[in-house]
Amino acid sequence: MPLKLYGCDISSRLLLGTARYPSPAMLENAIQAAQAEIVTVSLRRESLGLQSDQKVGQAFWLLIQQSGARVLPNTAGCHSVREAVKTAYMAREIMGTDWIKLEVIADDMALNPDIFGLVEAARILNEDGFKVFPYTTTDLGVGERLMQVGCNVLMPWAAPIGSGQGLSDRNALKAYRRHFESVPLIIDAGIGRPSQAAEAMELGYDAILLNSAVARAGNPILMAQAFGQAVKAGRSAYLAGPIEPYEGAMPSSPMVGRACLL
């Protein structure tokens, strides 16, 4: 069953970032290997022809268009409501989409979300017709506020951006999934290995968004393929209903009918 995001059916549950790949060809091949239908693009990094070297920006934009993936512009690196909102408007004009991955960063060290600025920026953008994908924490109150201002998707982090730590607070992520039972939830940031992506999907999360784990891998194409497989496996495991942990041992063979030795 496809994932529905703002009324659109998405078959792939792996979203891929486009920054820091060794080469454009490597990025293009990684998108295909991951079978990603959505890719994020930072307007601050790639101004698509508005930068001094216009050929670089235009070539990058052509690559993204030829990939066939839906573009999710990103306000990466924005530290204020004003900056994030302005970047979102520029992205909508240049990239021709009202989808926006909204980041409002509190500090450059941890790259954690500024939750107050995030909610305010989300309110402004939702009121003007944007489809907002907010990068947030696992704070339930913040999630509720984001829903109240119009967000239909939430993107909590697993760990700080680019850290590769995986699910740093598994209990918080489980509680978040239970609380927002019917809301599409996408893990954004902190995933470093395919096994971590599978674990998040087994908890019932709807999709995974990652960048560094693929772009900085020794073999980005092979890693993209591995993540694609892990996300599918984790989703299947969740739907199948994994057994709960049990303290002690439980025999897999029935005790009835065992041979009686006298």
The residues assigned a catalytic role are 101
| 137 closest CA partner among 164, 172, 170 | 172
| Residue matched to tokens 């993204």 | 64
Q: Amino acid identity, residue 59? A: A
| 215 closest CA partner among 187, 191, 186, 185 | 191
- Asked if 138 contacts 172 with a C-beta cutoff of 8 angstroms, the reply is yes
Cα dihedral across residues 24, 220, 165, 115: positive or negative: positive
| 14 closest CA partner among 230, 163, 162, 195 | 230
Q: Tokens representing 248?
A: 């002690």
The residues that bridge with 132 in the sheet, in sequence order, are 100
